[in-house]
Structure 1
Amino acid sequence: ASGSTAEEALSELKEAWEAMKESYRKHNEAIPVAPTRKEYSGQFNVRIDKRDHKALAIEAAKVGLSLNALIAQKLHQAVIAQRESDADTAI
């Protein structure tokens, strides 16, 4: 942006970003998000209803996975589905 004031430059940047997003939508591409500098360990604790815990443990045993692996798989699938849904609604 090359505005003669900070406000003009910011306005130009906003316009450029809106044009870029429109181009992504036009080409049916996902709009990129800014990367985060925070590093994640890949671990967190979550409390769930004990009936859900039992049902998930039984499901994990049936499919030959650890409870942790089953939950990780389900969360990953949910994240992917949400990204696809977000991309569809961004168009």
Structure 2
Amino acid sequence: MRTTVNIDDRLLAEAKLIAARQHRTIGSVLEEALRKLIEEESTEPTSRADYVLHTFTPEHPGLLPGVDLEDKELMAELLGDNLNGGDADHAPA
């Protein structure tokens, strides 16, 4: 298909050099560059379905020893958020 596009002069000059070195047409060089860009864009993650959420089992716990996610007071203490523990640095003003 024939079309007209505006291309930066320096970019076009580089593409022409590539075409000359490889004994190709400027059109084939530009087509290849565009194909690579489209392929690259189509392989990038585009949705949350592309990401894996790792889970942990009793055989492979992901927590440090002594951490119990069910114990909210212990978690607050470990995170430094235990306002009831008398920590003056974290007490509300």
Query: What TM-score comes out, normalization by structure 2 length?
Result: 0.46
Higher relative contact order (CA 8 A, sep 6+): 1
Larger radius of gyration: 2
Query: What TM-score comes out, normalization by structure 1 length?
Result: 0.47
Report which of the two has the higher share of helix.
1
